[in-house]
Amino acid sequence: MGVPVKVTLQGISRDLKSANGSHDPIELGPMDSDQLFALLNQVAPLKPPDLNAGDFCPPTFLVETPSGLQTFTVGDRRVYHLESESWVGPTEMIQVISGQFNTRARLAQDQAAAGVAPATPGALPTDPDLDPRTIETGPSAPQFSLKVWRGEGWRTSAIAIPLLALTLMVVPGFLLIFANGGREAWLGAGLVLVGALCVGLSALLWVFGKGRLRAGVDWRTNTIWVLRPGQKLAYESNAANILGFTVNRRTKNMGRVRTRNGYRNSVKVWFEVVCKRTTSEHLMPVNGGSCVAKGEADDLARGLEGLLRRR
């Protein structure tokens, strides 16, 4: 960066020792690359104010360059470039200011040169160094929600317990009530009551065994995301390159188990949402798209398809 640039700070105290969240500008005047690099290293370790503190300004660099204003928010040793919507390092920040670096724009040029056209135009490729915390999953993001099973164990128990109770308790109980002239009616009634109690309690599994899945799209980062109850955010990069979604049935041999009729293979079955991209002939699994029930996977695939087509 041969030509000095004018630098203004916001959200930082005048002694540069704390992030105070103030919108008051601190004009530092022209700075060369060495001075700017040293300033960034001094400010970057500062922790930004509490996000819930109200109307605050994060530590911000406003840099006036010959090509226009460049804005960077910094803090906790991280730098975010607002214009390219990407995370950059200190050296890359200097390159951005000097016009030598733009990750997402460069990726878009590389894809165009390779003849890759996005299915949904208008979004830059996802930053390879994307921080998942920057993906917009709040109420303002286009999204939908589904009730899904928390795991296969919950679903299996919710189905198996009432079936076993009916088979082993309720039905035999009714038979005992009317068998042998009613001499064992008390035992039959007890079995019916216990079986009915098990069926009733199993209803709780249908309530607590399911959670709310949220899925959405963030065109700013060019990602689709899936957030399952109790799990970390899962996302797919370059959502604009996705042509569509479908559901595949997946199986896994879990080994042989012993039953009353001998040994048999135990097979785990699940359903996986997959996508077709402009960049590949193969169907690729969607991160966060595995479901224990086909209906859930179908609903998730339809919801994601709708989000992409509504842009």
Match 């199986």 to its residue by tokens. 251
Q: How far is C-alpha 15 from the geometric centre of its chain's CA atoms? A: 39
Amino acid present at 173: G
Q: What is the 3-state secondary structure (H, E, C) of 209-228?
A: CEEEEEEEEECCCCEEEEEC
Q: What is the DSSP letter of 124?
A: P
Distance CA 177, CA 184 (A): 6
Amino acid present at 2: G
pLDDT band at 118 (very low <50, low <70, confident <90, very high): confident
Is residue 91 predicted with pLDDT exceeding 80? no
Distance CA 107, CA 238 (A): 11
pLDDT tens string 171-221: 888 888 887 766 777 787 888 888 888 888 888 888 888 899 999 999 988
User: What single string gives the DSSP state of each residue in 61-100?
Assistant: EEEEETTEEEEEEEETTEEEETTTTEEE-HHHHHHHHTT-
Choose between 134 and 68: higher pLDDT: 134
Candidate from 86-90, 113-117, 168-172 with smallest mean pLDDT:
113-117
Match 């804005």 to its residue by tokens. 71
Q: What percent of the chain has pLDDT over 70?
A: 85
What pLDDT is stored for residue 294 in this prediction? Answer: 93
Nearest to 89 by CA among 104, 68, 74: 74
Candidate from 11-25, 41-55, 61-75, 217-231 with smallest mean pLDDT:
41-55
Match 């009551």 to its residue by tokens. 193
What pLDDT is stored for residue 68 in this prediction? Answer: 76
Whole-structure pTM value: 0.58
What pLDDT is stored for residue 224 in this prediction? Answer: 94
Distance CA 209, CA 45 (A): 43
Choose between 9 and 258: higher pLDDT: 9
